[in-house]
Amino acid sequence: MSVIGTILRIVMERSSRKLTYETAVAQLEKGRESVLALMDSAADTPENRKTVRHVIGIERWGQHRLGVLKGEPLTVDEYDSYQPQDGLDMAQLRNAFNVVRGQTIELIKELETDGVPLERKVFHNDIKEFTLRGWIGYLSGHANIEMKRLKKGVQQKL
């Protein structure tokens, strides 16, 4: 495990230790609203689109990893192939994030219905064994932090 992975695991596990399924869903829903608001005020620039594609890729990659808790096979891969294709504008990426976050929320609800304990662990490339609770905090926090990098305003046409 890398030093960054160790630090991230400690921080995410500690900050998420009190999450219940109910508070996790509420956190993800609140995060969705704040991320969408940030996207609404963001310029449609290549840099901003790259950031949003990254966030969506990480969220989809995380969903795949959490799917292991539902019996899906683990594939150890990177997030890159989970990103939306190049060429989407900010409005399309906003819609894609809204959909993917909704899928994450539904997956968390399914795991609760299935009785999966929040302490169950799933492999993460840098963190190694990471609890479901930690994964939820990771996905929520990642999107919120990354989206704060978006540049505001409207792209000017040349």
Helix (H) or strand (E) holding 8: helix 3-16
Q: What is the pLDDT of residue 156?
A: 45
101 within 8 A of 24, measured Cβ to Cβ? no
| Average of per-residue pLDDT across 7-13 | 79
131 within 8 A of 123, measured Cβ to Cβ? no
CA distances to 19, 92, 146, 157 from 117, in Å: 12, 35, 28, 51
Expressed in angstroms, the distance from the first to the final Cα of the chain is 47
- Mean pLDDT over each residue of the chain, to the nearest integer: 92
Q: Residue 75 — φ and ψ, nearest 5°?
A: -115, 120
Q: Is residue 103 scored above 80 in pLDDT?
A: yes
Measured in whole angstroms, the distance separating CA 141 from the mean position of its chain's CA atoms is 8
Q: Return the SS3 of 124.
A: strand
Q: Which residue has the tokens 């999966």?
A: 116
Bridge partners (DSSP) of residue 123 are: 129
Q: What is the pLDDT of residue 9?
A: 75
The pLDDT-based confidence of 154 (bands split at 50, 70, 90) is low
Q: Which fold has domain 3-147?
A: Four Helix Bundle (Hemerythrin (Met), subunit A) (1.20.120)
Q: What is the pLDDT of residue 98?
A: 98
* Range with lowest mean pLDDT among 23-27, 89-93, 106-110, 148-152: 148-152
> pTM for the whole thing?
0.91
Q: What is the pLDDT of residue 106?
A: 98
Q: Is residue 94 scored above 70 in pLDDT?
A: yes
Q: Is residue 12 scored above 90 in pLDDT?
A: no
